[in-house]
Amino acid sequence: MNYPAGKPTFSIKTLGCKVNQYESQAIRESLVQNGFVEKEPNQIADFYIINSCTVTHKADKDTRGLIRHFHTLNPSGKIIVAGCYAELDSDRKTLAQMPGVTHLVKNNEKKYIAKILNSETLHASRFTLHETITSFKERNRAFIKIQDGCNHKCSYCKVSLVRGPSQSRCAEEILKEVKLLLEKGFKELVLTGVCLGAWGRDFKKKENLAGITDKISKIEGNFRIRLSSVEPMYVSDEIIEIVKDNNRVCKHIHVPLQSGDDKILKIMKRAYTARKFTQITAKLKKHIPDIAITMDVLVGFPGEGEKEFHNTVKVIKRIRPSRMHIFSYSRREGTAASKFKQGVDEQAVKERVKLLADLSNDFSMDFARRFIGKKQDAIIESHRDKSTNLLCGYTDKYIRVLTDGPDSLKNQLLPVKIDSTDKEKNIVLAHLDT
| Secondary structure of 198-238 in HEC code, one letter for each residue | HCCCCCCCCCCHHHHHHHHHCCCCCCEEEECECCHHHCCHH
Q: Does residue 148 form part of some domain?
A: yes
CA angle at 297 for the pair 158 and 311, rounded to the nearest 5°:
125
* 319 plus 399 within the same structural domain: no
* 88 plus 110 within the same structural domain: yes
Q: Does residue 275 form part of some domain?
A: yes
Three-class secondary structure of residue 67 per DSSP: helix
* 228 plus 263 within the same structural domain: no
Output the domain CATH number for residue 15. Answer: 3.40.50.2300
Q: Does residue 186 form part of some domain?
A: yes
When pLDDT is cut at 50, 70 and 90, the band that residue 255 belongs to is: very high
* 183 plus 263 within the same structural domain: no
Asked if 133 and 177 count as a contact pair (C-beta separation under 8 A), the reply is yes
Please list, in sequence order, all residues whose beta carbon lies within 8 angstroms of the beta carbon of residue 409, skipping any fewer than 6 positions away.
380, 391, 432
Q: Does residue 126 form part of some domain?
A: no
CA separation for the pair 434, 425 (Å, rounded): 27
Q: What is residue 26's predicted lDDT score, i.e. its pLDDT? A: 95
Q: Does residue 127 form part of some domain?
A: no
Q: Compute the radius of gyration of the chain from its Cα atoms.
A: 22
Q: What is residue 119's predicted lDDT score, i.e. its pLDDT? A: 73
Q: Which of 90, 118, 146 is the last residue of a domain?
A: 118
Range of the domain at 315: 255-370
Q: Does residue 124 form part of some domain?
A: no
* 25 plus 106 within the same structural domain: yes
pLDDT of 55 > 80? The answer is yes
Q: Which of 250, 281, 311 is the last residue of a domain?
A: 250
Burial label for 376, CB within 10 Å (0-12, 13-18, 19+), is buried
Output the domain CATH number for residue 313. Answer: 3.30.750.200
408: left (phi over 0), alpha (psi -120 to 50) or beta: alpha
How many distinct structural domains can be found in the chain? 4
Closest-CA residue to 409 (of 393, 386, 429): 393
Q: Which of 370, 385, 406 is the last residue of a domain?
A: 370
Q: Does residue 184 form part of some domain?
A: yes
* 56 plus 80 within the same structural domain: yes
* 425 plus 335 within the same structural domain: no
* 92 plus 183 within the same structural domain: no
Name the phi and psi angles at 63, rounded to 5: -60, -45
How large is the average pLDDT for residues 339-352?
A: 92
* 179 plus 289 within the same structural domain: no
Question: What's this model's pTM, rounded to 2 decimal places?
Answer: 0.93
Tens digit of each residue's pLDDT (9 = 90 or more) over 64-101: 999 999 999 999 999 999 999 999 999 999 999 999 99
Tens digit of each residue's pLDDT (9 = 90 or more) over 281-302: 999 999 999 999 999 999 999 9
Q: Does residue 411 form part of some domain?
A: yes
CA separation for the pair 137, 74 (Å, rounded): 24
Q: Which residues in 64-89 are b (16+ Cβ under 10 Å) and which e?
A: bebbebbbebbeebbbbbbbbbbbbe
Tens digit of each residue's pLDDT (9 = 90 or more) over 154-205: 999 999 999 999 999 999 999 999 999 999 999 999 999 999 999 999 999 9
Q: What is residue 379's predicted lDDT score, i.e. its pLDDT? A: 95
